[in-house]
């Protein structure tokens, strides 16, 4: 057997390929208890990888395991999971009936999740008030109420009428709107050719940002809610606008956004701490059986049935 030690040698061992696997490695590969890799006192066996492989649709197993990078990532993830599970057992978490309840996960998966949860809950988050204020100062736009410029429009299209006819109808809409701005929505329903009017009732939000410069300028020129624009000509036809809402961008006060910022900073702190914790486990030296790792490239070919851990165990006992 060839054993590769170190953090980055898993890739090397996988790249050996099936052709480099010795007869003794193939014999070991028939035993599901054979250890593929070890790290921090945790072992990943062929049975562990078989369990993972069972979750992959049969037609996708061979392509998945034909990637050295995916194999290395899988082994690394399983080693971290087993180290977390070992920590959970040392904390007595395996005695919790709730954690041991069946749910489609392996015992190591359930314990690794429980250990991660325990780690998070045990974290002492430092005072983040100073960072909270720094975030508020550094991101003024992020903690502001954006400017509002919303209008309702009646669109008179030139698709089914001449330009002169469309302009005359738009002038009529403008006159009626100025007489009674409160009835503008009724004018939308009666005259507008906007295909989306049944859903938006003529409402155009952020009208100052629309692609048509003439439309945007006309919207910006309206001073107060209820004001009616003159008729505007764009590539879509003729428009009459009514201002619905207009307000400049306003920065929220620090007291208003402090809870939001603080909660975000706390989550970020916890996520970093968890990531650092798992990275510490992941970066420990790895002892890998290079030949067994290489054998994974062809262990799950479509022509070859998935190894039966129970049968392998019975065969081992018989010998």
Task: Note whether 233 and 282 are same-domain residues.
Answer: no
DSSP letters spanning 183-239: GHHHHHHHH---TTHHHHTTEETTGGGSS-HHHHHHHHH--STT-BPPPEEETTEEE
What is residue 268's predicted lDDT score, i.e. its pLDDT? 97
**Mean pLDDT confidence for 161-187:** 96
Position 264 in a domain: no
Q: Which of the residue ranges 30-34, 145-149, 197-201 has the most confident prediction, judged by mean pLDDT?
A: 197-201
Domain count, the chain: 2
Task: Note whether 51 and 113 are same-domain residues.
Answer: yes
Position 262 in a domain: no
Q: Dmax over Cα atoms in the chain, in whole Å?
A: 99
Position 212 in a domain: yes
Domain region containing 87:
3-124+269-318
pTM, to two decimals = 0.66
Task: Note whether 8 and 114 are same-domain residues.
Answer: yes
Q: What is the pLDDT of residues 93-105, one digit of tens each?
A: 999 988 877 778 9
Contacts of 159 (CB under 8 A, 6+ apart): 193, 237
User: From CA 253, how far away is CA 259, in angstroms rounded?
Assistant: 12
Task: Note whether 68 and 173 are same-domain residues.
Answer: no
């Amino acid at each position: 057997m060839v054993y590769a030690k170190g953090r980055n040698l898993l890739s090397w061992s996988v790249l050996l390929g099936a052709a480099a696997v010795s007869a003794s490695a193939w014999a070991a590969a028939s035993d599901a208890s054979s250890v593929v890799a070890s790290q921090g006192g945790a072992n990943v066996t062929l049975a562990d990888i078989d369990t993972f492989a069972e979750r992959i649709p049969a037609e996708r197993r061979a392509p998945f395991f034909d990637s050295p990078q995916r194999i290395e990532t899988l082994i690394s993830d399983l080693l971290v999971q087993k180290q977390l599970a070992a920590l959970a057992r040392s904390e007595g978490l395996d005695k919790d009936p709730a954690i041991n309840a069946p749910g489609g996960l392996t015992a190591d998966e359930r314990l690794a999740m429980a250990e991660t949860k325990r780690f998070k809950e045990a974290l002492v988050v430092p005072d983040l008030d100073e960072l909270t204020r720094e975030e508020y100062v550094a991101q003024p736009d992020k903690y502001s109420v954006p400017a509002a410029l919303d209008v309702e429009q009646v669109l008179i299209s030139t698709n089914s009428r001449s330009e002169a006819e469309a302009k005359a109808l738009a002038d009529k809409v403008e006159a009626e709107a100025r007489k009674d701005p409160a009835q503008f929505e009724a004018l939308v329903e009666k005259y507008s050719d906007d295909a989306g009017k049944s859903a938006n009732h003529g409402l155009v939000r952020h009208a100052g940002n629309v692609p048509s410069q003439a439309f945007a300028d006309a919207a910006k020129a309206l001073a107060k809610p209820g004001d009616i624009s003159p008729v505007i000509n764009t590539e879509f036809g003729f428009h009459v606008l009514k201002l619905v809402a207009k307000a400049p961008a306003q920065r929220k006060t620090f007291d208003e956004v402090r809870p939001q910022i603080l909660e975000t900073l706390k989550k970020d702190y916890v996520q970093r701490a968890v990531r650092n914790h798992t990275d510490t486990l992941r970066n420990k030296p790895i002892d890998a059986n290079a030949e067994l790792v290489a054998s994974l490239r062809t262990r799950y070919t479509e022509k070859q049935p998935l190894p039966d851990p129970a049968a392998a165990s019975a065969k081992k006992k018989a010998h």
